[in-house]
Amino acid sequence: MISLHSRFIAFMIGIVIIFLILLFVRKKSLEPMYSFFWILIGIFFISVAFFPNIIYLISVLLGINFSPIGVLVISIFGLGTIILHLSTIITKHQRKIREFEKKIALLENKIQINKNYEKN
């Protein structure tokens, strides 16, 4: 069984995560859209603090006898999902930047040509 001590720590971690994320969103250093995952993680921590049996339940569902491994598997899966999600976002931004670079370069060139034309 999980001790009261660790449950308290899990609760505090959950609270801190949610608090930090809300702070970041308020300070506009985190898009509300991306805060979603992190809030979920915070909620997970808090729910583990109140219902520690969640961990056993999940481990059993995954067919794992040693429940700490269940926790690890879930965390790795969750983090992997977040990273993949972020990768797609990076790709989207990269495409956008590429497009901008192209357009700006062409516009600059046009301005240059016009300037030369006016000079002559």
Partner 1 sequence: MNEKKTLILIPTYNEGLIIEKVISEIKTIFKTENILVIDAYSSDETYNKVKKNGANIIQIDKIFGISLAIETGICFAYENDYDFLVRIDGDGQHSPSDVKNLLDFAVDNKNDLTIGSRFLNKSEYHPNLLRLYGIRLLRKLIKIFYKTEITDCTSGCQILNKKLIKELNNDELFEYSEVGIICKTSLLGMSIQEKFINMKERKTGSSSFNLANSFIYMFKNILVLLSLININFKK
Interface residues with partner 1 (CB under 8 A) are 98-99, 101-102, 105-106, 108-109, 113
Nearer to partner 1 (CB atom), residue 57 or residue 104: 104
Reading the block at residue 81, the tokens are: 């999902």
Nearer to partner 1 (CB atom), residue 31 or residue 101: 101
CA distance 67 to 59: 5
- In angstroms, give the least distance from the CB of 10 to partner 1: 43
Q: Which amino acid is at 113?
A: I
CA distance 71 to 7: 14
- In angstroms, give the least distance from the CB of 102 to partner 1: 5
* Ramachandran class of 64: left when φ > 0, alpha when ψ lies in -120 to 50, beta otherwise: beta
Nearer to partner 1 (CB atom), residue 31 or residue 99: 99
Nearer to partner 1 (CB atom), residue 85 or residue 103: 103
Q: In this structure, what are the phi and psi dihedrals at residue 2, rounded to the nearest 5 degrees?
A: -80, 135
- In angstroms, give the least distance from the CB of 95 to partner 1: 8
- In angstroms, give the least distance from the CB of 26 to partner 1: 34
- The separation between the first and the last C-alpha atoms of the chain, rounded to the nearest angstrom, is 86
